Amino acid sequence: MPAQPPLRPANLARAGLGPSQSQLAGVVLAFVALTVVMTFPLAFRLETLGRVDNGDGQFSIWNVAWVARTLVVDPRHVFDANIFYPRRWTLVYSESNLGAGILAIPVYWATRNPYAAHNFVLLLSFVLSATGAFALIRYLTADWRAAFIAAIPFAYCPYVFAHTPHIQLLMTAGLPFGLLACHRLVDHPDTRRGVILGITMVLQTLCCGYYAVFLMLMAGYTLLVLMAIRRLWFNGPFWRAILVAAVTAGAGAFPLMLPYLNLQSATGFRRSLADSRRYSADWRAYLASSAYAHAWLLGLIGHWQEVLFPGVSATVLGAAGTVIGFARGGRARELSLVYGGLAALSCWASFGPAGRLYSLLYALAPGFSLLRAPSRFGIVVVLALSVLMGLAISVLLARLTRPRLVAFLLGLVAAVELLAPSRFVPVQPPSPAYRVLSALPYGAVLELPVYSDAFRFVRTRYMLDSTAHWMPLVDAYSDYVPPDSISDSEALGEFPTEESFQILKRDHVRYAVFHLDRYGAAIRPPLLERLEAFHAYLRLRYADAHVLLYEITGFPP
């Protein structure tokens, strides 16, 4: 079957189905306005709100601020994050979030506020995701109205609102842009489109490792299905474009993946299939939602581990699009097969080892040894349903006498259905002790109390507070925690003692911050006695009812 390219964008406006340049600008502005509404009041309080109510949110804010700051002042050491001192390459102990940090640079340096920088990227991620889905669906359906409506369930789905503490999981824009590059390559295979596809894969790797793996699989499946349908087995330009895309993606992504490969080689760190069972989806996940309109579902399912409900609009119209597309034949049938298959396979993979497909991917596909949450395949299900939803709406609008009114009502229903409660809470200003610390000579900091692994997320508060001074921290949290850091934590938790002093002397640690209000009433008096006993080696730099800041001026023999 010969290639069936869609109408070109330049012709869509003349046909009344595509937007002009001013309409395109209006679409993006509409997504900006919708983002402001859906996340209200975040856009009006960028510097004073954040997902600081949990450890993941605190970690993300610290991470984005670290990258935005360090890429400007010391880009060579961006991977040497200020955690787990004196170890190096500590940023790769978890998702590096280089993409989010790059996007945050202008706001961070304009405000020096980590919350504003993070929140700006968070809001931007919604706009980019909606724009990417719009561009993909418009290209496939040749109807900008259907594309706008169908982009809403993808960009503002319950899954992303449930993951606002995880900035990398909001960076979904690369998925639709990557698939758009796939379709353009198949329709008109040449070197330039191969390069574009490769670059989209690199950019997605820069923003989220999970989605980079997903995009690799999605692109492979899409290209394979379209190649089979259009009988491109021996099409030279097609294969050359694929080769260029693979080389471009490999050359660009390898430097980004190298630090993680080095971590695996040096430490043996990897995710086992057993790890992924805990983070796998089940049928309840596909009925769980954070939206007001879906709250009644939560009472029916009882408990859930992930939020994957695509929404009623996407589910019903996506299913309709699958049937309509297959019945219409031609390019519509292609979309039905590609995106119906992507939805089914991604849903299957999201069930993890219990579904067997994930186990097969773990054994065969690169990158899975660093993943542990199969349930995140659910975002691919939402994207596939959104494309099929766009197909169904485009067919519907073409048959109506008042398509604008119906399009407006469908868009309104799609948006209102996904409204969710705001989970952004007011942030607390850092202790004045950190302002004092930021003016002192550079040196590593031990924050106390030291929390056990069972309370590891409490350490992220120390990491977030470090954005006020950027001194290196001895104790911290990440996906990977060095074994010697764990073994030292018990002794360091008793500081000051002779044993803990020797560890700090070995690592050249200069400061200790005691959060007295976080010590139990029974522990505080012995602590104050030890501080008095070792006062000859400690210089008090700041003190109030809650915090004591000491500089370590010597070490007991």
Q: Average pLDDT per run of 10 along the chain, which is 557 residues long?
A: 43 48 87 98 97 94 98 96 96 95 98 98 98 96 95 98 96 98 96 97 96 96 97 95 97 92 85 90 95 92 92 97 95 96 98 94 87 95 98 95 93 96 93 97 96 72 96 93 90 95 96 94 93 96 96 94
Predicted local distance difference test score (pLDDT) of residue 454: 57
Predicted local distance difference test score (pLDDT) of residue 19: 57
Bridge partner list, 547: 515
Predicted local distance difference test score (pLDDT) of residue 451: 82
In sign, the C-alpha dihedral spanning 44, 48, 53, 58 is: positive
Predicted local distance difference test score (pLDDT) of residue 23: 77
Predicted local distance difference test score (pLDDT) of residue 528: 94
**What three-state secondary structure class fits 75?**
helix
Cα separation of 456 and 452, whole Å?
6
CA 479 to chain centre: 15
Say which amino acid occupies 401. T
Question: CA 177, 180, 183 angle in degrees (round to 5)?
Answer: 155
CA 253 to chain centre: 17
Q: Which helix (H) or strand (E) holds 550?
A: strand 547-552
Predicted local distance difference test score (pLDDT) of residue 457: 65
Q: In what order do the strands lie in the sheet with 538-543?
A: 444-448, 509-515, 547-552, 538-543
Predicted local distance difference test score (pLDDT) of residue 499: 96
Q: Which two tokens stand for residue 78?
A: 């961006």
How big is the chain, counted in residues? 557
**What three-state secondary structure class fits 88?**
coil
For the chain, the domains span 9-272+291-417, 432-552
The residue among 437, 537, 499, 433 whose CA lies nearest residue 82 is: 437
Q: Which helix (H) or strand (E) holds 105?
A: helix 98-111
Cα separation of 415 and 30, whole Å?
12
φ, ψ of residue 474 to 5 degrees: the values are -75, -45
Cα separation of 258 and 256, whole Å?
6
Q: What is the dihedral of CA 461, 462, 464, 465, to 10 degrees?
A: 120
Predicted local distance difference test score (pLDDT) of residue 455: 62
